């Protein structure tokens, strides 16, 4: 089999009407898996095209979010371009957009009209607050979603102000969930021959990802505050100082704590009434931190990591992004990839047997406007989805 025929989503046709991060990231995940993606851009273009830095004249962020796609310029207020867009929606398996709610409808493309023209269309809308509800009409960016979801309130230094997570998680997580929802809808369509309408709000996606914080918010009356690098419940679980810097420990059960105590030469910790359970260690985290850092005072970070790792205690150095992307681990795992012109980019984030995604350069603005149609000669092995 050729690489293209091995692509999980080969034959799936995706129409993207997206800008910035959430919708483009979602459709790029599908493109990496072999879907044919046509990116519809306005005459102005996706705003991410202007985000620095640049590689050979093109935004590196735009390249990351839009590889393996084609770009078509359409002004949906123009009757001819609107007809072209309508035809593309009839041919598509999936439509992904992140306009303000009602944006497509105001341009004459309501969900009902789109589904009437293509009853098997999977139509995903990503917005800040969803297609309904009291905040539906409000604009949103990543920091808005982080603030509204409660995520900022538990992020940042202990006893410090709320902080934004260092990446646009309010866009990235909706993009991932959007791709998951699209594939689920395509699988259901295989059985029912019916399309789907997917309403995905950035805030909803972050709320769904609150995990233990969400459970404490719903079932515990205790405070929900930033704890720095510490876990709010388990200890020792956070960053700790050695003689020449900091590293992280992740000790979340009694067996691991026993190993830690042994490596650090403090076996009496196991019977210390302050530390005999994960809950009690969490309640006495600062006392425990002082004792751990006293035991580490004469060890370098490298020595601490070597000894702790040898004993099976989860630990790691604290890397900056450049170190993380170019270090021994990243090289061994192949977390970055190269496009044909030498542009280094990020990979899919997972390995699927021996499948390797294509690494086609993101399109120039309107590069494929002369061919505003899906390719008819694409392999059809996924056309039943």
- Kindly list the catalytic residues: 171
A 10 A CB-CB count for 97 gives 20
* Cis bond before residue 236 (omega within 30° of 0): yes
The C-alpha atoms of residue 374 and residue 160 are separated, in whole angstroms, by 52
Contact assessment for residue 198 and residue 182, using Cβ atoms and an 8 Å cutoff: yes
Query: In this structure, what token pair is assigned to residue 351?
Result: 């390995």
CB 272 within 8 A of CB 283: no
The neighbouring-strand residues paired with 352 are 355
Q: What is the sign, positive or negative, of the torsion defined by CA atoms of 276, 278, 281, 283?
A: negative
Q: Measured in Å, how far apart are the chain's first and last C-alpha atoms?
A: 20
The DSSP bridge partners found for residue 242 are 245
Closest CA to 280 of 254, 260, 241: 254
Whether 296 contacts 236, CB under 8 Å: no
Q: Which of 88, 93, 144 is CA-nearest to residue 120?
A: 93
Both tokens of residue 335? 């977390």
Q: What are phi and psi of 18, to 5 degrees?
A: -130, 160
Tokens 């091995």 belong to: 6
Token output for 176: 């991932």
DSSP string over 318-339: ---HHHHHHSHHHHHHT-EEE-
Task: Map residue 17 onto helix, strand or coil.
Answer: strand
Question: CA 195, 200, 205, 208 torsion: positive or negative?
Answer: negative
Residue carrying structure tokens 């496009």: 339
Task: Give which of 53, 55, 58, 37 is closest to 357, Cα–Cα.
Answer: 37
Contacts of 326 (CB under 8 A, 6+ apart): none
């Amino acid at each position: 089999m050729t690489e293209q025929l091995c692509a999980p989503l080969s034959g799936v046709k995706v129409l993207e009407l997206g800008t910035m991060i959430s919708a483009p990231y979602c459709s790029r995940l599908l493109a990496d898996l072999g879907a044919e993606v046509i990116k519809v851009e306005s005459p102005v273009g996706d705003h991410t095209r202007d985000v620095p830095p640049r590689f050979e004249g093109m935004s590196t962020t735009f390249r990351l979010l839009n590889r393996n796609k084609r770009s078509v310029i359409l002004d949906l207020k123009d009757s001819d371009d609107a007809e072209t867009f309508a035809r593309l929606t009839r041919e598509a398996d999936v439509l992904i957009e992140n306009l303000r709610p009602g944006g497509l409808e105001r341009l004459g493309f309501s969900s009902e009209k789109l589904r009437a023209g293509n009853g098997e269309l999977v139509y995903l809308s990503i917005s800040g607050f969803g297609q309904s509800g009291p905040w539906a009409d409000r604009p949103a960016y990543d920091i808005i979603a982080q603030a509204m979801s409660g995520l900022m309130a538990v992020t940042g230094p202990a006893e410090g102000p709320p902080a934004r997570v260092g990446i646009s998680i309010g866009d990235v997580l909706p993009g991932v969930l959007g791709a998951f929802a699209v594939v689920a809808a395509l699988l259901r369509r295989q059985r029912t021959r019916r399309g789907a309408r997917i309403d995905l709000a950035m805030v909803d996606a972050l709320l769904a990802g609150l995990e233990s914080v969400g459970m404490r918010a719903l079932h515990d009356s205790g405070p929900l505050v930033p704890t720095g690098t510490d876990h709010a419940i388990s200890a020792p679980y956070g960053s700790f100082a050695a003689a020449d810097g900091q590293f992280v420990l992740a000790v979340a059960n009694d067996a691991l704590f026993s190993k830690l105590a042994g490596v650090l030469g403090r076996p009496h910790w196991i019977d210390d009434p302050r530390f005999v359970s994960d809950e009690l260690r969490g309640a006495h985290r600062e006392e425990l931190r002082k004792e751990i850092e006293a035991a580490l005072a004469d060890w370098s970070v490298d020595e601490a990591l070597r000894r702790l790792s040898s004993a099976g205690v989860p630990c790691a150095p604290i890397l900056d992004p450049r170190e993380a992307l170019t270090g021994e681990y990243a090289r061994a795992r192949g977390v970055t990839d190269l496009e044909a012109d030498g542009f280094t980019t990020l990979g899919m984030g997972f390995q699927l047997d021996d499948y390797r995604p294509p690494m086609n350069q993101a399109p120039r603005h309107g590069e494929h406007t002369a061919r505003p149609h899906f390719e008819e000669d694409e392999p059809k092995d996924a056309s039943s989805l």
